[in-house]
Amino acid sequence: MSEHGIVHLVGAGPGDPGLATQRALDLIARADAVVHDRLVSPRLLDGARERAELIYVGKRPGEPSMPQDEINALLVERAGRGQRVVRLKGGDPFVFGRGGEEAEALTEAGVAFEVVPGVTAGVAAPAYAGIPVTHREQASAVAFVTAHEDPDKDESALDWAALAAFPGTLVFYMGVKRLEAVAASLIEHGRSAAEPAAVIERGTFAHQRTVTAPLGKLAKRAADEGIEPPAITLVGAVASLRERLAWFERAPLRGRTIAVTRARAQASGLAARLAELGAEVIEAPAIRIVPRIETEEVGEAVSRLVAGDYDIVCLTSPNGAELLYEAVALEDRDARAFAGTAIAAIGPATAASLLERGLHADIVPPRSIGESLAEELLEHGMRHKRVLIARARDARDVLPEALVNGGGEVDVVTLYETVGEQLDDVTIAAIAGADYVTFTSSSTVRYFCDAIGGPARFPAKARVVSIGPVTSEAVREAGLRVAVEAEQHDVDGLVEALLDDAAS
Under DSSP, the state recorded for 221 is H
Stretch that binds ligand SAH, among 107-115, 229-237, 239-247, 424-432 (CB under 6 A): 229-237
Q: Which of 414, 410, 451 is CA-nearest to residue 317?
A: 414
Residue of the chain from 9, 45, 71, 231 that contacts ligand SAH (CB under 6 A): 231
Q: How far is the CB of 96 from ligand SAH (least distance, A)?
A: 4
- Please state the three-class secondary structure of 316-332 as a single string: CCHHHHHHHHHHHHHCC
Q: How far is the CB of 209 from ligand SAH (least distance, A)?
A: 10
Q: Is 424 a catalytic residue?
A: no
Q: Which residue in 9, 31, 125, 321 binds ligand SAH (CB under 6 A)?
A: 125
Give the CB-nearest residue to ligand SAH.
91
Region of 226 (left: φ > 0; alpha: ψ -120 to 50; beta: rest) is left
15 binds ligand SAH per the rule CB under 6 A? yes
Establish whether 435 is a catalytic residue: no
Closest to 491 in 3D by CA, of 352, 306, 332: 352
Does 202 participate in binding ligand SAH (rule CB under 6 A)?
yes
Tell whether residue 131 is a contact of ligand SAH (CB under 6 A): no
User: Residue 90 interacts with ligand SAH (CB under 6 A)?
Assistant: yes
Residue 91 sits in the site that holds ligand SAH (CB under 6 A): yes
**Catalytic pick from 26, 46, 59, 334?**
59
- Residue 36 interacts with ligand SAH (CB under 6 A)? no
Rounded Cα gap, residues 323 and 321, in angstroms: 6
Which of 5, 79, 83, 96 lies at the binding interface for ligand SAH (CB under 6 A)? 96
Do 147 and 173 form a contact (C-beta atoms < 8 A)?
yes
Where does residue 203 rank: exposed (0-12), middle (13-18), buried (19+ CB within 10 A)?
Answer: buried
* Residue among 189, 138, 199, 202 nearest 163 (CA): 189
Task: Choose between 227 and 402: whose C-beta lies nearer to ligand SAH.
Answer: 227
Q: Which is nearer to ligand SAH, 88 or 495 (CB)?
A: 88
Distance CA 150, CA 148 (A): 7
Contacting range for ligand SAH; rule: CB under 6 A; set: 131-139, 197-205, 235-243, 308-316 = 197-205
Residues 97, 444: Cα–Cα separation, whole Å? 42
Q: Could you give the CA distance from residue 200 to residue 221 in angstroms, rounded to a whole number? A: 12
Binds ligand SAH (CB under 6 A): choice among 5, 126, 230, 406: 230
Least distance in angstroms from the C-beta of 360 to ligand SAH:
47
Regarding 17 and contact with ligand SAH (CB under 6 A), the answer is no
- Alpha-helix runs per DSSP H in 252-391: 264-276, 296-306, 318-330, 348-356, 370-379
Angle, in degrees to the nearest 10, between helices 215-224 and 179-188: 170
Question: Does 285 sit near ligand SAH (CB under 6 A)?
Answer: no
In angstroms, the CA 268 to CA 280 distance is 13
Indicate whether 120 belongs to the interface with ligand SAH (CB under 6 A).
yes
**Residue span binding ligand SAH (CB under 6 A) among the ranges 93-101, 153-161, 371-379, 430-438:** 93-101
Q: In the bound complex, what is the minimum distance in angstroms from residue 40's beta carbon to ligand SAH?
A: 10
Least CB distance from residue 182 to ligand SAH, whole Å? 12
* Shortest separation between residue 207's beta carbon and ligand SAH, angstroms: 10
Instruction: Please report whether residue 130 would count as binding ligand SAH according to CB under 6 A.
Output: no
Decide if residue 71 touches ligand SAH (CB under 6 A): no
- Cα torsion at 234, 236, 237, 243 (round to 10°)? 10
Among 16, 37, 92, 490, the active-site one is 37
Q: By CB under 6 A, name the one of 232, 234, 344, 423 that touches ligand SAH.
A: 232
Q: Which is nearer to ligand SAH, 211 or 403 (CB)?
A: 211
Cβ 266 vs Cβ 418: under 8 Å: no
Is 210 a binding residue for ligand SAH by CB under 6 A? The answer is no
Among the listed residues 157, 325, 291, 169, the one whose alpha carbon sits nearest the alpha carbon of residue 234: 169
Stretch in the footprint of ligand SAH (CB under 6 A) among 22-30, 202-210, 433-441, 466-474: 202-210
Buried b / exposed e over 98-130, threshold 16 CB at 10 Å, is ebeebbebbeebebebebbbbbbbbbbbbbbbb
Query: For residue 34, which of 7, 2, 13 has the smallest C-alpha distance?
Result: 7
Among 20, 33, 39, 484, binds ligand SAH (CB under 6 A): 39
d(CA 326, CA 186): 67
Smallest distance from ligand SAH to CB 98, Å: 8
Can you tell me the distance from the alpha carbon of 199 to that of 228, in angstroms, rounded to the nearest whole number? 10
Neighbours of 339 (CB within 10 A): 8
Q: Is 211 in the site for ligand SAH (CB under 6 A)?
A: no
Binding site for ligand SAH (CB under 6 A): 14-15, 39, 89-92, 95-97, 120-121, 125, 173-174, 200, 202-205, 229-232
Residues labelled as active-site residues: 37, 59
